[in-house]
Amino acid sequence: SAKLFENNSIDMVYIDADHSYAGVKRDLETWWPKTKKIFSGHDYQHPLFSGCTYAIDEFLQSKNHDLNKEPYYNWWTQKE
């Protein structure tokens, strides 16, 4: 549970759990403050999980962060 971690206490987070729009949005909002450096995950532009892509795009745009895409539907951004 994210409640076990203080804000800015984790170097890297990789999100790959609930694949619904609402679930991904919740995970992004929950883990963002906990992360210091690399915020990442899976299923970006995956044809079966379009909700993931929409949630990730909206979230990173709201934070004014660039999205980096990697093979096999991986994505990441670097926090300051």
Encode pLDDT of 19-31 as tens digits: 999 999 999 999 9
Segment 31-74, tens digit of pLDDT: 999 999 999 999 999 999 999 999 999 999 999 999 999 999 99
Selection from 30, 34, 40, 32 nearest residue 68 by Cα: 40
Distance CA 34, CA 21 (A): 21
User: CA-to-CA distance for 37 and 77, rounded, in angstroms?
Assistant: 8
Is the model's pTM score more than 0.85? yes
Burial (CB count within 10 angstroms: exposed 0-12, middle 13-18, buried 19+), residue 57: middle
